[in-house]
């Protein structure tokens, strides 16, 4: 790798590791110091490497600089020494002996413990996602703002408030105890699920960034699956779902970034390796005795990897949505269930059910009604599509609906 | 939105034992029906089935085999739905598969303490 690409690449992979380890060492109250030291380390690389050349082992170089900077910081700052050095768990016979452990094991543990800290119930989900992107995924503020379709100021404020909250709540950076882990894991999984969805459904034009979001969510979920404290069936179920969903990443948008609906996708573009990984994780997830919404969603996604329309396929999808809705209602699950119903039992039966859903502020609702009436009553189909068009907000949605009207 | 308890009753002695396929088909009808309610966001609690045998405790430590010997019909299960009115709750109950096999659904508004 050449120098211009090397530093951004290392920034993406190493910034988060250094930050997590230092933050774990200093405590959540000093999260900004950890971030600053990590940033300064990269600044030093940018200043030095062009003149002295790339070191033989760039990562080791970064770790050494980060360690020295951390030690210097502790030595220099009396306030810091007084306030924090006493909190550092390692026995302190002298600052020189502080162990800054950048081993692979400690990096992974620190990142996972930070994941639990960041996904603390005391801060909002959107703040959790922002912090996870910044601290655990090494995203810049610009990138986060772009991915979440907002501006830098909003993200900065959001992160500032969230860090402040974690500080005042004195949230510890550690694995939750056995009694608490399932409950806390639930919050972590929700955040990872939403992080993945941000990437998968984002309106952002930046395809690379959107894929990165999905990959990061998968990477963090995989870390959970690999760890003895957290390798639970529900984690594998989420991982399976993410694999199945991302297997269609290439197929679901065309060159202009327009959405290609499932039935129109070129299935040769589906990533077979991710599909088989999804099946592998889904099998492991079947070990427990509890069916989570991720199990059901992963199973639904599994059936979608079979392109051919059979009664068996849609009947299975219908039953899975039936179970999913009993665990947790969502308008989109209700609409998808009705679509599955039309595939399993015919459009006429589905129209009766659809009319009763009453989701009259939802453009997907009218799009579904339009689809169901198509071929049965094209006039009603058109009226529903037009209603959908008037409710749709994004350009992509409007284009998709307009196309449906045009071919009616 | 108020909560309404749906109580499923029927004479369980009178049900002919079906083939596994018939039983599966019946389970599917229940699943479809409950999910229809859930899809309208009207399901508060899917509830449970009740075992066919039971006991009745009366005053003076009298315990009899139940549910009730004097009537054939017994409660087979219950669910909780959300509805704006009795009429709406009744509409939801009308699709219950138990009606097709001679049973009935009692709809009771929950009066919150």
- Condensed to tens digits (0 to 9), the pLDDT of residues A263-296 reads 788 889 999 999 999 999 999 999 988 899 999 9
Going from the C-alpha of A265 to that of each of A250, A268, A305, the distances in angstroms are 10, 9, 11
Residues from chain A contacting residue B32 (CB–CB below 8 Å): 318, 322
Q: Which whole number is the average pLDDT over A220-235?
A: 94
Yes or no, beta carbons of A325 and B46 under 8 Å apart: no
Assigned domain for A246 exists: no
Query: Do A131 and A183 belong together in one domain?
Result: yes
Query: Do A113 and A219 belong together in one domain?
Result: yes
Q: Which whole number is the average pLDDT over A194-202?
A: 87
Query: Do A153 and A220 belong together in one domain?
Result: yes
Residue A66: CB partners within 8 Å, gap ≥ 6? A18, A22, A37, A38, A41, A100, A102
Residue A324 has pLDDT above 60, yes or no: yes
Confidence label for A1 from pLDDT (cuts 50, 70 and 90): low
Yes or no, beta carbons of A326 and B46 under 8 Å apart: yes
Chain A, window 323-362: residues with a beta carbon less than 8 angstroms from a chain B beta carbon: 323, 325-326, 329, 331, 333-334, 337-338, 353, 356-358
Residue A26 in 3-state DSSP? helix
CA A356 to chain B, closest CA, distance in angstroms equals: 7
What is the interface pTM, i.e. ipTM, of the complex? 0.80
User: How much of chain A, in percent, has pLDDT values that exceed 70?
Assistant: 93
Residue A208 has pLDDT above 90, yes or no: no
Confidence label for A94 from pLDDT (cuts 50, 70 and 90): low
CB-count burial class (<10 Å; 0-12, 13-18, 19+) for A172 = middle
Q: The domain containing residue A24 runs over which residues? A: 1-102
CB-count burial class (<10 Å; 0-12, 13-18, 19+) for B53 = exposed
The length of chain B, given as a count of residues: 113
Query: Do A148 and A93 belong together in one domain?
Result: no
Name the residue among B28, B32, B38 with its Cβ closest to that of A329: B38
Residue A77 has pLDDT above 70, yes or no: no
Assigned domain for A239 exists: no
Residue A291: CB partners within 8 Å, gap ≥ 6? A323, A327
Confidence label for A368 from pLDDT (cuts 50, 70 and 90): very high
Q: Which whole number is the average pLDDT over A51-64?
A: 93
Query: Do A114 and A219 belong together in one domain?
Result: yes
Assigned domain for A258 exists: no
- pLDDT at position A289, please? 85
Residue A207 has pLDDT above 90, yes or no: no
- Condensed to tens digits (0 to 9), the pLDDT of residues B5-35 reads 999 998 877 766 778 888 888 889 999 999 9
Using a CB–CB cutoff of 8 Å, tell me whether B38 touches chain A.
yes
Indicate which CATH number applies to the domain containing A394. 1.25.40.10
- Which of A44, A79, A102 is at the close of a domain? A102
Assigned domain for A274 exists: no
Query: Do A75 and A163 belong together in one domain?
Result: no
What is the pLDDT of chain A when averaged over all its residues?
89
Residue A81 has pLDDT above 70, yes or no: no
Assigned domain for A272 exists: no
Q: How many domains does chain A have?
A: 3
Residue A191: CB partners within 8 Å, gap ≥ 6? A118, A119, A125, A128, A129, A132
Query: Do A200 and A225 belong together in one domain?
Result: yes
Query: Do A55 and A113 belong together in one domain?
Result: no
Residues from chain B contacting residue A325 (CB–CB below 8 Å): 35, 38-39, 43
Specify the long-range contacts of residues A8-17, CB closer than 8 Å, at least 24 apart.
Answer: A10/A42, A10/A45, A10/A58, A10/A59, A10/A62, A11/A42, A11/A138, A12/A138, A13/A138, A14/A59, A14/A62, A14/A138, A15/A39, A15/A42, A15/A138, A16/A111, A16/A135, A16/A136, A16/A137, A16/A138, A17/A102, A17/A107, A17/A110, A17/A111
pTM above 0.90, yes or no: no
Query: Do A52 and A117 belong together in one domain?
Result: no
Token code pair at residue A219: 């990477």
Q: Which whole number is the average pLDDT over A189-217?
A: 86
Assigned domain for A305 exists: no
- pLDDT at position A92, please? 46
Residue B69 has pLDDT above 60, yes or no: no
- Condensed to tens digits (0 to 9), the pLDDT of residues A105-157 reads 999 999 999 999 999 989 998 899 999 999 999 888 988 888 888 899 999 99
Query: Do A58 and A138 belong together in one domain?
Result: no
Query: Do A108 and A213 belong together in one domain?
Result: yes
- Which of A230, A264, A287 is at the close of a domain? A230
Full set of structural domains in chain B with CATH? 2-109 (3.30.70.1060)
Q: Which whole number is the average pLDDT over B35-47?
A: 95
Residues from chain A contacting residue B46 (CB–CB below 8 Å): 326
Query: Do A52 and A73 belong together in one domain?
Result: yes
Residue A91 has pLDDT above 50, yes or no: no
Residue A96 has pLDDT above 60, yes or no: no
- Condensed to tens digits (0 to 9), the pLDDT of residues A328-356 reads 999 999 999 999 999 999 999 999 999 99
What is the pLDDT of chain B when averaged over all its residues?
89
Yes or no, beta carbons of B35 and A356 under 8 Å apart: no
Distance separating alpha carbons of residues A347 and A372, to the nearest angstrom: 6
Assigned domain for A32 exists: yes
- Which of A197, A212, A230 is at the close of a domain? A230
Assigned domain for A294 exists: no
Indicate which CATH number applies to the domain containing A57. 1.10.1740
Listed range (A22-36, A81-95, A179-193, A270-284) with the worst mean pLDDT: A81-95
């Amino acid at each position: 790798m050449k120098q211009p690409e090397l530093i951004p690449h290392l920034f993406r992979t190493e910034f988060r590791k250094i930050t997590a380890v230092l933050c774990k060492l200093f405590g959540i109250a000093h999260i900004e110091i950890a971030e600053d030291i990590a940033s300064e380390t990269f600044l030093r690389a940018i200043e030095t490497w062009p003149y002295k050349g790339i070191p033989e082992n760039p990562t080791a170089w970064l770790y050494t600089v980060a360690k020295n900077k951390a030690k210097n910081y502790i030595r220099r700052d009396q306030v810091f020494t007084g306030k924090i050095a006493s909190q550092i768990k390692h026995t302190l016979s002298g600052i020189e002996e502080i162990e800054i452990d950048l081993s692979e094991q400690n990096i992974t543990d620190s990142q996972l413990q930070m994941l639990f800290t960041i996904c603390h119930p005391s801060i909002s989900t959107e703040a959790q996602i922002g912090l996870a992107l910044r601290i655990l995924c090494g995203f810049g503020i610009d990138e986060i703002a772009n991915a979440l379709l907002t501006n830098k100021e909003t993200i900065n404020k959001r992160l500032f408030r969230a860090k402040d909250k974690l500080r005042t709540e004195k949230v510890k950076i550690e694995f939750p105890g056995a009694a608490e882990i399932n409950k806390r894991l639930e919050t972590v999984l929700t955040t990872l699920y939403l992080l993945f969805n941000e990437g998968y459904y984002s309106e952002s034009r930046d395809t690379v960034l959107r894929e990165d979001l999905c990959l990061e969510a998968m990477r963090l979920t995989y870390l959970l699956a690999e760890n003895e404290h957290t390798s639970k069936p529900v984690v594998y179920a989420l991982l399976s779902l993410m694999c199945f969903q991302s297997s269609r990443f290439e197929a679901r948008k065309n060159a202009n970034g327009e959405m290609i609906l499932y039935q129109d996708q070129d299935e040769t573009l589906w990533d077979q390796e991710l599909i088989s990984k999804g099946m592998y994780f889904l099998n492991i997830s079947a070990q427990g005795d509890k069916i989570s919404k991720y199990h059901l969603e992963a199973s639904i996604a599994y059936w979608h990897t079979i392109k051919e329309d059979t009664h068996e396929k849609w009947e299975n999808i219908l039953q899975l949505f039936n179970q999913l809705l009993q665990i947790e209602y969502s308008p989109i699950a209700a609409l998808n269930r009705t679509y599955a119903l039309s595939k399993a039992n015919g459009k006429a039966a589905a129209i009766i059910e659809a009319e009763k859903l009453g989701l009259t502020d939802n453009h997907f609702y009218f799009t579904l009604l339009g689809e169901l009436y198509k071929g049965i009553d094209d006039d009603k189909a058109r009226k529903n599509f037009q209603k959908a068009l008037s409710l749709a907000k994004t350009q992509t949605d409007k284009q998709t609906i307009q196309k449906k009207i045009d071919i009616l | 939105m108020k909560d309404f308890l749906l109580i499923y009753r029927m004479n369980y002695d009178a049900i002919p034992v079906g083939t596994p396929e018939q039983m599966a088909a019946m389970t599917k009808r229940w699943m479809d029906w409950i999910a229809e309610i859930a899809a309208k966001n009207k399901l508060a609690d899917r509830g449970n089935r009740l075992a066919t045998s039971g006991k009745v405790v009366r005053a003076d430590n009298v315990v009899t085999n139940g549910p009730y010997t004097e009537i054939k019909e017994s409660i087979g299960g219950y669910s909780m739905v959300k509805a704006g009115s009795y009429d709406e709750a009744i509409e939801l109950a009308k699709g219950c598969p138990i009606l097709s096999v001679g049973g009935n659904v009692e709809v009771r508004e929950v009066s919150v303490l």
